[in-house]
Chain A
Amino acid sequence: MHELSLAHSLIDQILDLAAEHRASRVLRVRVTLGPFSGVVRDSFEFGFNVLKKEQPQTAEALLDLDTPDPTYVCLDCARVSVIPFALPGESAELLSPGPFPKKCPWCGGRQLSPKGGTELILNQLEME
């Protein structure tokens, strides 16, 4: 559960920026969680929404999370593709046929290497 400590450092970062910009209230926080960042979106959101209430400046801040789809490089044909994660309950047989789930849509190869996607970024703040 490292999402809680990340949400905590986000709140600290926001409070610093609010002070720097002489804002009394943060209205909206835009954050990108990379698909291979190892951060669970729901847990992060939950942690943020609990912790934000501890400070009057962040108590009403809306968290706007962007979670881009994962990108892979095929080690067989070297082509790059974006293949979304299957959602729980979603039939994803085409995408996930085995334990190393995905296939290259270009050549059918199974050796898909994750490309980038480890970013955890505070993009933008809306304050007043």
Chain B
Amino acid sequence: MCDTCGCQLHDHHHHDARVVDVNRSLLEANQRQAEANRRHIEEMGAVAINLISSPGSGKTTLLERTIDALKDTVSIGVIEGDIETERDADRIRAKGVPAVQLTTGGACHLDAPMVHGGLHVLEHFGRGRKFDLIFIENVGNLVCPATFDLGEHRRVILLSVPEGSDKPAKYPATFRSADLVLITKTDLLPHFDFNLDEARREALTLKPDLAILSLSATTGEGFTAWLDYLHGLLPR
């Protein structure tokens, strides 16, 4: 019942109610921080990559091999997102690269405010070092991270062979948001019924101009194309 006029209409519009058209994104606050992060990263002279995938598809291993290949020529910093533990950051630090661990304590994705904090800590850890390339390894999850811009310049989605080639079709929002899809663990292709053509075709159906590369961090097959992609992003 309406307290103002005593009428019985459940849905009654109050006499002094005002209707305000807003038409703003629900992600506005995150988006604003993401733009600020992007500017921050550019002022640092760097380019940032947001790595998204299921847990266990090889994001940290990809970073370890990438650091091995590039660390003499490219200055790399890493922001690691996980629900708990410093393990991934420790693996990166063991390679001699500054790494910040963000533990979300349960949240299934990183958001731009968390990465903002991470960037400041990374600068602190870097002690004045200039970064060329910053990797942000998202929480292992093929669903939620897709919605949140972190301020990255490129979004790379990993799809490992054991996961199956039907993943792009099953997780369309995530694959549609990608700039590059990296099919990883290709050394396992003989052991799984992963169909490379199916994975490529379905990813390209979602986003016809998507870049797709495949590689194995174990054998090094396809790794050169990935390194070329990274070199292509670096400021000249």
Q: Write out the residue numbers on chain B whose beta carbons fall within 8 Å of the beta carbon of A122.
A: 22-26
Given A9-B27, A17-B20, A2-B109 contact (CB < 8 Å): yes
Q: Write out the residue numbers on chain A whose beta carbons fall within 8 Å of the beta carbon of B43.
A: none
Given A38-B147, A100-B202, A10-B26 contact (CB < 8 Å): yes
A69 located at the interface, meaning its Cβ lies under 8 Å from any Cβ of chain B in the complex: no
Q: Write out the residue numbers on chain A whose beta carbons fall within 8 Å of the beta carbon of B169.
A: 99-100
B197 located at the interface, meaning its Cβ lies under 8 Å from any Cβ of chain A in the complex: no
Contact among A31, A38, A125 with B26 in the assembled complex (CB-CB below 8 Å): A31
Complex Cα spacing A119 to B177, Å: 13
In the complex, the answer to whether A9 meets B30 with C-beta atoms within 8 Å is yes
Q: Write out the residue numbers on chain B whose beta carbons fall within 8 Å of the beta carbon of A111.
A: 201, 205
Given A13-B28, A17-B20, A99-B166, A5-B107 contact (CB < 8 Å): yes
In the complex, the answer to whether A6 meets B208 with C-beta atoms within 8 Å is no
In the complex, the answer to whether A6 meets B147 with C-beta atoms within 8 Å is yes
In the complex, the answer to whether A37 meets B24 with C-beta atoms within 8 Å is no
In the complex, the answer to whether A128 meets B18 with C-beta atoms within 8 Å is yes
The minimal Cβ–Cβ distance linking A37 to chain B, given in whole angstroms, is 7
The minimal Cβ–Cβ distance linking B39 to chain A, given in whole angstroms, is 21
Nearest A-chain residue to B177, judged by Cβ = A118
B13 located at the interface, meaning its Cβ lies under 8 Å from any Cβ of chain A in the complex: yes
Contact among B16, B25, B143, B148 with A119 in the assembled complex (CB-CB below 8 Å): B25
8 A Cβ contacts from B110-169 to A:
111, 143-144, 146-148, 166, 169
The minimal Cβ–Cβ distance linking B200 to chain A, given in whole angstroms, is 12
Given A1-B144, A75-B205, A112-B205, A127-B20 contact (CB < 8 Å): yes
In the complex, the answer to whether B26 meets A5 with C-beta atoms within 8 Å is no
Binary interface profile of A, 59-84, with partner B (CB < 8 Å = 1, else 0)?
00000000000000001000000000
Closest 7 CB pairs of A and B: A38-B173, A2-B144, A120-B26, A128-B17, A100-B169, A122-B22, A111-B205
List A residues at the B interface (Cβ < 8 Å).
1-2, 5-6, 9-10, 12-13, 17, 21, 23, 27, 31, 36-39, 75, 99-100, 111-114, 118-128
